[in-house]
């Protein structure tokens, strides 16, 4: 009986230690620590002027409603994958390997479908994970207003 109790306690502690401490998302069997951009100023700045994005990091953009979205790479210095999710956290569109833009006029990268959440990760991550339309995003430690 003591052994079972001790084993259960150890397992519980191990599971707690594996949980993300800050905002994080999971997709394709991998977890990413994220910065959350949930207001106009943060969404406009995004990952601009960053020299690099560490592995297993990203930015989650949260919008107040679901609508077609378009992102651009002006002043963004790192190539990115841009993943668009609907209100149910289902992947509805993706723009892979989007290059930085160093010009005045930069192209936009539309979702083509309504989205409420957008996840930016290092370019190549979506291919590496084999992401496909319909995959689900799991969100951890993000304010409840993010979820519907």
d(CA 81, CA 58): 10
Average pLDDT over residues 99-118: 94
Q: What are phi and psi of 86, to 5 degrees?
A: -85, -175
Is residue 15 very low, low, confident or very high in pLDDT (cuts 50, 70, 90)? Answer: very low
CATH superfamily of 21-146: Protein of unknown function DUF192 (2.60.120.1140)
What percent of the chain is predicted at pLDDT more than 90? 77
Average pLDDT over residues 59-70: 96
The structure's pTM equals 0.83
> Radius of gyration over alpha carbons of the chain, in Å?
17
């Amino acid at each position: 009986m003591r052994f079972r109790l001790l084993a259960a306690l150890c397992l519980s502690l191990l599971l707690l230690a594996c949980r993300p401490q800050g905002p994080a998302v999971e997709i394709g069997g991998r977890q990413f620590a994220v910065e959350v951009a949930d207001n106009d100023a943060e969404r406009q700045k995004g990952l601009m002027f960053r020299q690099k994005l560490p592995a297993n990091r990203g930015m989650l953009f949260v919008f107040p409603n679901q609508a077609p979205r378009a992102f651009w790479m002006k002043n963004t210095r790192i190539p990115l994958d841009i993943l668009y999710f609907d209100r149910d956290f289902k992947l509805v569109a993706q723009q892979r390997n989007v290059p930085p833009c160093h010009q005045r006029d930069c192209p936009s990268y539309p979702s083509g479908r309504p989205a409420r959440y957008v996840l930016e990760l290092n370019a190549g991550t979506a291919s590496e994970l084999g992401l496909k339309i319909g995959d689900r995003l799991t969100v951890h430690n993000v304010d409840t207003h993010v979820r519907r």
